Amino acid sequence: MRKKLKYHLQPIRVPSGWTITINNLFEVELTPETIDWFSSSVLIGGVRRSTGHCFDTRVEPEGDPSGDFVIDMLTIQYDKTGEPIRGSENFLGEFRTKSKSAFIEKIEEFMIEA
C-alpha cells in the first residue's frame, strides 16, 4: 500500500498534444520548511512531439528556499523512429520568477502557444 503524500500534485492545465514526462511539482509554496518538496533536478517537464517543443523546470539554486523557479524552453528534432536526434536541441529561452503562480502561468502559456 502506498504512503499518502502530505501534498497533492500541483494542478496544471495541459493542452492536447502535450505529454508531461516528469512531474514532481506539488501544491505547496516554496519556504524553508518545504524546500525538500522542490529539491528534484526537474520539477515538471513536458514535450509536444508534433512540434518538438519541450520544457524543463527547476528551482535554482537547488535547495535554496529563496531561489527562483526556472523554466527552460526549447525544441528538439526527432528521427523517423521517434527518438530525439542528439545535438538537435534549439534553446528558445528561459523564464525566471520568485512567484509560483507566475511560474505555473508561464508553463501553461508556453504549452498553449507552442
Flag whether 1 is in a domain: no
Q: CA–CA separation, 38 vs 17, rounded Å?
A: 27
Flag whether 62 is in a domain: yes
Flag whether 80 is in a domain: yes
Flag whether 9 is in a domain: no
The amino acid at 36: D
Q: What share of the chain is helix, strand, coil (3-state, %, to 5)?
A: 15, 35, 50
Give residue 111's pLDDT: 98
Task: Report the SS3 class of residue 13.
Answer: coil
Flag whether 51 is in a domain: yes
Give residue 103's domain range.
Answer: 19-113
pLDDT in tens, 64-100: 999 999 999 999 999 999 889 999 999 999 999 999 9
Residue 26 — pLDDT band, cuts 50, 70, 90?
Answer: very high
Task: Report the SS3 class of residue 110.
Answer: helix
C-alpha cell at position 114:
507552442
pLDDT in tens, 48-72: 999 999 999 999 999 999 999 999 9
Flag whether 12 is in a domain: no
Those residues whose C-beta lies under 8 Å from the C-beta of residue 88, and which sit 6 or more positions away, are 76, 77
Distance of CA 38 to the CA centre of its chain: 12
Flag whether 8 is in a domain: no
Flag whether 83 is in a domain: yes
Number of structural domains the chain divides into: 1
